[in-house]
Structures are given as C-alpha cells and as structure tokens.
A and B are shown apart, each in its own frame.
Chain A
Amino acid sequence: MKNYWWKILSFILLVYTIVAGFLLKVPRLPILNETIRNLYFHVCMWMGMMILFSVSVVYSIKYLRNFNYKNDVFAVNFAAVGSLFGILGYLTGFLWVNVTWITDQGQSLASVLKEPKLIGAAIALLIYGAYFVLRGSFNDIDKRARISAVYNIFAFCMLFPSIWIIPRLVGSLHPGAPGSDSGNPALDRKDLDSSMRMVFYPAIIGWTLLGVWIATLKIRLQLLKDKNIIHE
C-alpha cells in the first residue's frame, strides 16, 4: 500500500473525471457549447505534458550533478511520456478546432493554422522530437546521457515561451489572448467557473499520475535491461 497508493488515486480521479466531467453542469457558452467539457481531457493532456517535462528536466539536472546513469533513464522516459501526452493533446485539439473555430466561428482552415499556439506547440514538440533523435545518434552511453541532458534543459527552456508566452503576446484564439476578456482560465481561479474547477484540477492530477505510472513502468523495464551497466 505504501508504494502504489497513487496508482489507485490516479484511477479514482480519472473515474471521477469521466463521471463528473460528463454529468456535472457546465456554463452555457456560445461557440463552445457542450465541447467545453474538453477542458477535462484536451487541456489536461497539455498540463500533464508540462508536469512530465518538468520532472524530466529535474532528472537531467540531477544527472549532470552526479553522472548517475539511472537519472538519465528517468529523464528520457519522462520526456517520452510527456511527448506522448503532447501528441495526444495536439490530436484532440484538431478535433476540437473542427467544431468550434472552423465550423462555428466560420474561420477558414488557413486562418486557424496561423494560430500561434498551434505553431508554438508544434515547435515545442519538435524540439523534444530532436531530443530523441539526438539520443539515438550516440553509441557511447556516457556521451549520450551527458549531451542529451544538456539538450533537455535547452528544450525545457523553449517549452514555456513557445506554448505560453509567445501565443499570449501576439494574440491567439486560445483563451488568454491580449484584448480578449477570456483571462487566464487555466491558472487564474477567477477565470474558470467553480463547477468546472472541481473537475479540472483533479483531472490534471489523475492524468498526470497515469503518465507517471506509464513512465515508471518504462523506467523499470529499462533499468532491468541495463542492469549490467549500472554500478550501484
């Protein structure tokens, strides 16, 4: 019970997310209509991605401090699951765009593709994609771990400017654009309806814990595989 309580917590929170997320009342808003419930799924993918990438960069820094191979394994697997969450967030975003911005707001596909947050998120994911390409191009384990740890820090530094800061500076269809009254619904308590907050925050925790679980499975598997090169 000591070690796996958070796995059960993740399951309970995600069950709650689905039940409450579909059944509880949500604000009636134009354009969004019922799709506002995507907040519990699409947005949580991005939140989970950011948390997993943050964990990954912490392990990269830890690796650079003591050159323990284990930390490198942790860093790469958290980054991998984070990227998976990012790709899922991107794909679910495509579906959401189709019924809100394109259909309801009557925007052309071309104008939606200029959306800075789409471009920023693509840049961020591609930078992380390059992280895995970089790792794959080394045969020497120590060199691979060292250079990719440094690169991971760089990638993390690019993450928040490209998905948060730049889209909010130049104006975006996403909430939080300058000049719009949408505020900062992801983080500011006043900008999100309280009934939605009751589901949104547990949903973030639930999805993130699921991601952490999958990452730890990958880590344990790789540590078993590389047992002969880890010196305790």
Chain B
Amino acid sequence: MNKILLLIFSLFISFNLFAQNEIEMADTLRSNGKIFTVVAVCLTILLGLFLYVFMIDRKINKFEKEINKK
C-alpha cells in the first residue's frame, strides 16, 4: 500500500515538473535583440574563414595550371 501511495505521489511530482515551464533560457538576449549581434559576429567569422579558404583554393588552382603547362 505504501509503495502504491509513493508511486502515485511521485507521479504527481513528475506532473508538476511537466506543468511548470520555468526552465531558464536566454529569453532576454532574444527579446532585446542582442542575439542578432552574436549571429552577426559568427557570420563575419564564417565569411572570413570561407574567404580565406577560397583564396587558398584559387592560389592552388593557379599553381596547378602553371605546373601542368610545363
């Protein structure tokens, strides 16, 4: 009997957990729009990295053409 009571009680606890939606997320960061700064920074880094890789790609292209001409 005790075990069953405990089980029911624990079910209520888990229901409670489901009911509350107070898990902390970065809502302020989103609501005041500062998240866009983060996105912009990451995009800039990504763009820079890709440009860099692209330049290396072009340089190797040039070398390949030069060497294959010989």
Contacts and interface: CB of A to CB of B under 8 A. Distances in A.
A18 B46 CA distance: 9
Q: How large is the interface on B (under 10, 10 to 19, 20 to 34, 35 or more residues)?
A: 20 to 34
B60 A224 contact: yes
Closest 10 CB pairs of A and B: A28-B23, A34-B26, A18-B42, A22-B39, A220-B60, A34-B25, A11-B50, A30-B23, A217-B56, A33-B24
Given A15-B43, A217-B60, A224-B64, A22 B38 contact: yes
A91 interface: no
26 contacts: A7-B54, A15-B43, A18-B39, A18-B42, A18-B43, A22-B35, A22-B39, A22-B42, A23-B35, A28-B21, A28-B23, A33-B25, A33-B26, A34-B25, A34-B26, A213-B53, A213-B57, A217-B53, A217-B56, A217-B57, A217-B60, A220-B64, A221-B60, A224-B64, A224-B67, A227-B67
B63 interface: yes
A210 B26 CA distance: 29
A28 B50 CA distance: 33
B26 to A, nearest CB: 5
Interface of B: 21, 23-26, 35, 38-39, 42-43, 46, 50, 53-54, 56-57, 60, 63-64, 67
